[in-house]
A and B are shown apart, each in its own frame.
Chain A
Amino acid sequence: MHEYTHWFLDEILRKAPLWFHEGMATQQGNQLGLDRYYYYIRERFWGNKMDLIKLAENYPQQPADWDLYYITSYYAVQYMKNKNPESWKNFWEIVADNYRIGKITIFSDAFYNAYHKDLWQFNEDFSVESKRQAYVYIFTGLGTFILILMPIILIFAHFKQRKKMKALPDLEYPDDSSEDEDDNLY
């Protein structure tokens, strides 16, 4: 499905950026799990980011960066789709209309007409959004840390409670005879 998506996009679009190709193909191929999402936000958090403009035509030189490139592309397409669903719809309507009349759509033209911004601006917006997403990493990290500490906290609390209980003075048992007397009143 991943490969078909590339073919599909090539049939209908001209000069589509590489990130769009890979993002769509990764999405259609269902190739993104929670682990890769976590990897993405972690890398973003530590400042490792991919510039969509710089990498519009070429893959990163280092193979080690390819995975991040695919994930970044995926999120760029997700951002394009979810941030403004109406524009996403318009974009594909432009492409579909052109295809019906036998024209291949130039990506940047359709993008501009649908989103009313160019790819530079989109890259800026996506960068800001990605930074925001990186904070998810802190919260997930904190959550995980608390979960790991939870058993230790519980054991500690248990012993503390026990110690406290032991420190309490022993109460005398109620006197049975007085209770009997009370009962006789009724």
Chain B
Amino acid sequence: MLIYSFLNANYQIAVISDNFVIHTTDGKFPVTQSFIEELNQRIDQLQMGTGVYLDARADIYVVPDAKSYALWNFPALFIPRWIIVSTSAVPNKYIQTIMVS
């Protein structure tokens, strides 16, 4: 948990939506509103299609480089609570955080 707090300290919330929160290092996320809306719509469709409506929002950390990605990934290997899913689509069994690099 301490490591998570340490890593998280460098990130600021850039976007808050109904289904997810995007964190970036500078608190900015240069995408259009339509991107956010479309992603939200597709998540809504998934939840409607399955009938499972999640209370939690997914935390999406946009990491600036491969080094940062490794920083997040390494502790996640040992602390199952926040093992991440990378863009290479490696799924995990204990995910709490989505990492988009």
- Are chains A and B native binding partners rather than an unrelated pairing? yes
Q: Which residues of chain A have C-beta atoms less than 8 A from B58's C-beta?
A: 4, 7-8
A1-B42, A22-B89 known; A7-B98 Cβ under 8 A: yes
Say whether A7 contacts B52, CB under 8 Å. no
In the bound assembly, the distance between CA atoms of A95 and B89 in angstroms comes to 23
* Interface: A109 (CB within 8 A): no
A12 at the B interface (CB under 8 A): yes
| A8 CB contact (under 8 Å) in B39, B54, B100 | B54
Contacts of A95 in B (CB 8 A): 50-52
CB-CB under 8 A from B12, the residues of chain A are none
Complex interface: chain B residues within 8 A of A15 (CB):
93
Interface of A is mostly: helix
Bound-state Cα–Cα, A9 to B54, Å:
10
Hey, which chain B residues are within 8 Å of A93, CB to CB?
51
Determine if B98 and A4 form an interchain contact, defined as CB atoms under 8 angstroms apart: yes
On whether A28 and B92 interact (CB within 8 A), knowing A3-B87, A92-B50, A96-B52, the answer reads no
CB pair A10–B92 under 8 Å, yes or no, is yes
Q: Does B64 contact A (CB under 8 A)?
A: no
Pick from B42, B51, B90: contact of A96, CB under 8 Å: B51
Q: How many residues of A contact B (CB 8 A)?
A: 26
The verdict on B69 contacting chain A, using a C-beta distance below 8 Å, is: no
Q: Mark A84-96, 1 if CB is under 8 A from B, else 0.
A: 0000000011011
A96 contacts B54, C-beta separation under 8 Å: no
Decide if B13 is an interface residue (CB 8 Å cutoff).
Answer: no
Q: Residues of A contacting B4 with CB < 8 Å?
A: none
| Closest chain B residue, CB of each to CB of A91 | B50
Q: Which of A1-22 contact B (CB under 8 A)?
A: 1-12, 14-15, 18, 21-22
Q: Say how far B69's CB is from chain A's closest CB, in angstroms.
A: 13
Specify the chain B residue showing the minimal Cβ separation from A1.
Answer: B42
Q: Is B1 an interface residue (CB 8 A)?
A: no
Find residues 86-113 in chain A having any chain B CB closer than 8 Å to their own CB: 92-93, 95-96, 99
Chain A interface residues toward B at CB < 8 A: 1-12, 14-15, 18, 21-22, 25, 28, 59, 70, 92-93, 95-96, 99
B: residues with CB less than 8 A from A are: 19-20, 39, 42-43, 46-47, 50-54, 56, 58, 60, 85-87, 89-95, 98-100
26 A–B pairs (Cβ distance < 8 Å), ordered by A: A1-B42, A3-B85, A3-B89, A3-B99, A3-B100, A4-B43, A4-B58, A6-B89, A6-B91, A7-B85, A7-B98, A8-B46, A10-B94, A10-B95, A15-B93, A21-B91, A22-B89, A28-B42, A59-B90, A70-B89, A95-B50, A95-B51, A95-B52, A96-B50, A96-B51, A96-B52
